[in-house]
Copies of this chain bind each other. A is one copy, B any other.
Amino acid sequence: MVNVGIIGAGRIGKVHVESICTKVADGKVAALADPFMNEETEAWAKEMGIAKVTKDYKEVLADENIDAVLICSSTDTHSVISVEAIKAGKHVFCEKPVDHDIEKIQQVIDALKDSNVKYQVGFNRRFDHNFMAVQEAVASGKIGTPQIIKITSRDPEPPALEYVKVSGGMFLDMTIHDFDMVRFLAGCNAEEIYVEAAVLVDPAIGEAGDVDTAVITIKMENGAIAVIDNSRKAVYGYDQRAEVFGSDGMVSVSNDAASSAVISSAAGVTGEKPLHFFLERYMDAYAREVGCFIDAIENDKETPLGIMDGLEPVRMGIAAGISLKEHRPVKLSEVTV
């Protein structure tokens, strides 16, 4: 049994608490920390059977009963707490991104060098049933050598403007999942990125210095060409698809809906919209990623996504930012510590 401390009791922290409590047999949430811990959350934690509730995550790190921590706090604290947790000998599951600043990620890499702790980055989509099936088809050679990789990733609605301003920009906030997916599906790193982006959804996003629509072309190290298309607003819901085309065929996945019901009427033949957003679409994936983390600890396996999987998508996001600004293809080799 792995005793887990959750650092950060926001939306995603709570998702992980519920997953571990209900779906991960070998994990137990022993502590929950949040600087804004309130009575309501405390009561909820009690109900979930969490023994220790605190405002100070350092108490969790200091607790000898805790084997591992899940860092679900705000992005700017991820790398710092990661380093502290590693030094405290705790296994670490860190929500994405590890940091927007690759120097800070380098500090985590350095801290891991002399440690024996497991480290996993929270790119949940790798654990989605559909994307797992695509990756499996590619990795098993069913489509031959991958040549074109296409990812569609569109949110149902833009985040609050306040969030946009501190998000690090669309590429580091939203596309970062797709950058990880491209690496997952191609089985290699990116070599060069070109961005065509615009503000087509909401001018206020542009005024905040960000974009909301993008088509991103990526040359992968294995020669495949990847393309991601992003929008901050798809009125029909969360659009999450992928397609890999190769020398022997193509694998593609479509969106999930709440049911397969189709109504044929005088107005047309109508099925359900995709599941609304990430909590609906990826709930099983969240449980699966945490299950893998616990399994890696229990059975001394490698985590499925290590710290380098945390670094590369951030480098890609930075390269995308340079491409947007300088309007040219940017090599990943330009983005170094």
A269 on the interface (CB 8 Å rule)? yes
Closest to A135 in B: B261
Nearest chain-B residue to A257 (Cβ)? B269
| A residues apposed to B, CB below 8 Å | 22-23, 25, 47, 129-130, 132-134, 137, 142-145, 147-148, 150, 154, 194, 196-198, 200-201, 213-215, 217, 219, 223-227, 229, 231, 233-236, 239, 245, 247-273, 327-329
What is the total number of copies of this protein in its complex? 4
Q: Judging by beta carbons under 8 Å apart, are B250 and A263 in contact?
A: yes
Cβ contact within 8 Å between B258 and A133? yes
Whether the pair A261, B137 counts as a contact (CB closer than 8 A) is yes
Residues in B neighbouring A258, C-beta threshold 8 A: 129, 133
Known A-B contacts: A142-B265, A225-B229, A253-B259. Give 15 more (CB < 8 A).
Answer: A25-B47, A130-B260, A133-B272, A134-B261, A137-B263, A147-B231, A148-B215, A200-B223, A215-B227, A227-B227, A227-B229, A229-B245, A235-B249, A251-B261, A267-B270
Question: Which residues of B have CB within 8 Å of A262?
Answer: 251-254
Identify which of B132, B148, B254, B273 contacts A213 (C-beta below 8 A): B148
How far does the Cβ of A216 sit from chain B's closest Cβ, in whole Å? 9
**Which residues in B have their C-beta under 8 angstroms from that of A145?**
200
Q: Which 7 A-B pairs have the closest CB atoms?
A: A249-B265, A133-B261, A133-B259, A236-B264, A22-B22, A268-B270, A270-B270
Assess A245 versus B147: contact at CB under 8 Å? Given A215-B227, A217-B217, A260-B130: no
Tell me, in angstroms, the Cα distance from A262 to B213 when the chains sit together: 22
> What is the CB-to-nearest-CB distance from A49 to chain B, in angstroms, rounded to a whole number?
10
In whole angstroms, what is the CA distance A194 to B269 when docked?
32
- Cβ–Cβ < 8 Å partners of A147 in chain B: 198, 200-201, 213, 231
Q: Which residues of B contact A22 (CB under 8 A)?
A: 22-23
Given A198-B225, A269-B272, also A231-B245 (CB < 8 A): yes
Given contacts A148-B213, A258-B133, A273-B268, contact A263 B142 (CB under 8 A): yes
> What residues of B have a CB within 8 angstroms of the CB of A225 in the complex?
196-198, 213-215, 229
Given contacts A200-B147, A227-B215, contact A154 B269 (CB under 8 A): no
Bound state CA distance, A106 and B152, in angstroms?
A: 40
Chain B residues with Cβ below 8 Å from A239 are 250, 264
Question: Shortest distance in angstroms between A71's beta carbon and chain B's nearest beta carbon?
Answer: 25
Docked complex Cα distance between A25 and B47 (Å): 9
CA distance A157 to B44 in the complex (A): 45
CA distance A234 to B251 in the complex (A): 12
